[in-house]
Amino acid sequence: MSGFKDIIFANTENYQGYVNEQFQDLANQFSRLQDGRTEFGGAALVVYFKGQKVVDIFTGKKSETEQWQEDTMSVCYSTGKGILATLAHILVSEGLVEYDRKIAEFWPEFAQNGKENMTLRHILSHQSGLYDIRNMIENASEMADWQHMLQVMQSATPRFAIGSDIAYQALTFGWLVGGVLEKATGRHLTDLFKQYLVEALQLDGAYFGVPTEQLSRIAKPFPKEKPAQSSAAAKPKKHKKANFSDKLMQLSGQNPQDFLDAMVPHNMRDFSFFSQQGLQAIIPAANGVFTARSLAKVYAMLANGGTWQDQVLIKAEVFKELSQIQSIKRDRVMPIPMKWRLGYHRVITMGKRAKKGFGHIGYNGSGAWCDPKRELSFAYTHNFNIGSITGDYRLWGLTQEALRCADAELKGSKGWWF
């Protein structure tokens, strides 16, 4: 199935799970968008509204031989940045970390090469200048060694003066934030994550570094079919068509080298986030593994101002701080305006506005976000073999419809823009 017509006439009931009637249109759209490709992967969608779960559905295949299950986990790439940032804000609320304290005060080795005045705020808002992973390590496989990468971060040199510019820390964000949390508390990141998020919210399926016994729950992309080799003389290679992200990059006028330096370590072909090594490594900016349920629950807590079931995880003054836009300056790496908060960006839709909303998308088009004004949270995961730094049209469309369904209840009208 392909094309707009196929989506319009797709099956609207090709999913399993629970849907509140208020959000039935969202479930129908989810089915339309997935229906024609359920033999090539699967997906899950979970939404909370006013503190209640209103959508919890899934469809398709976890692998070529297994169906997607309600507890299936996915590699969510940069979607995990928002979860790591949330952990940081909880620790700020606990008084264990501070946004504006110099990192070098508790991580002395970090003060090398002009970083003596850098703070957690600079890192969370992508104003550290430490985005150039390509020139920090010689081989992508180095990313699997957590302690080694912390040493790489502490000896790295910013590409611009701290706080003077914005460049998306596509891969370095995880070691930078995670390293700060470890050095400030004297505890391992996985222990902090387990205590302050997983156990606090009773999450089932949320990992930076997946335990061996949980690996079987992970959905993996299906192998791409290789074109048949012709015995005839080799034909000239066709130029690769530019995808949407490539076109955006060209139109934005940004330097493609900044994008390459942030996104692509040397010898990336020798490393896979889906290998056992990749899945069990701690690479929080890129290999977080989650269920849609876990992501949506974290953001449901954020949609409720940092409180969940009478438990205050994030104090009001900290929540106000984390949700404030830090800069609207154009990012060196991302081709669209991101409106960076402290670890989150704006909610990307197909027109509907969510001024108070924030979250994070992943390279494969997964994503999770909240809108505290609407008391709404959203998470979408999948295992389709696609990639785009600005997300996937399915993610934008589902985000749009989730906002519209909420507005139908809040305002009496769905609307398209407001």
Positive or negative: CA dihedral 27, 32, 34, 38:
positive
pLDDT, residue 391, reads: 75
Task: Indicate the average pLDDT of the chain.
Answer: 93
Is the domain 72-222+243-345+363-399 a CATH 3.20.20.70 member? Answer: no
Q: Which residues contact 101 (CB under 8 A, 6 or more apart)?
A: 119, 120
How many angstroms separate the Cα of 219 from the Cα of each of 15, 159, 171, 316, 383?
17, 37, 22, 37, 6
Q: Tell me, yes or no, if the pTM score tops 0.85.
A: yes
Per-residue pLDDT of 55-79, as tens digits, reads 999 999 999 999 999 999 999 999 9
- Alpha-carbon Rg for the chain, nearest whole angstrom, is 21
Q: What is the pLDDT of residues 335-370, one digit of tens each?
A: 999 999 999 999 999 999 999 999 999 999 999 999
pLDDT band at 227 (very low <50, low <70, confident <90, very high): low
**What pLDDT, on a 0 to 100 scale, did the predictor assign at position 107?**
98
390 — pLDDT class (breaks 50, 70, 90) = confident
pLDDT at residue 250 greater than cutoff 80:
no
Pick 140 or 393 by higher pLDDT.
Answer: 140
Tens of pLDDT, residue by residue over 127-173, are 999 999 999 999 999 999 999 999 999 999 999 999 999 999 999 99
Residue 175's SS3 state is helix
Plot region of 261 (φ>0 → left; ψ -120 to 50 → alpha; else → beta): alpha
Please report which confidence band the pLDDT of residue 103 belongs to, taking 50, 70 and 90 as the band edges.
very high
Six token digits for residue 199:
């156990």
Q: Tell me whether strands 358-361 and 311-312 are parallel, antiparallel or unpaired.
A: unpaired
Residues in the chain: 418
Q: 228: pLDDT confidence band, cut at 50, 70 and 90?
A: low
pLDDT of residue 234: 46
State percent of the chain over pLDDT 70. Answer: 92
Q: How many CB atoms lie within 10 A of CB 280?
A: 17
Coil vs helix vs strand at 286: coil
Per-residue pLDDT tens over the stretch 74-94: 999 999 999 999 999 999 999
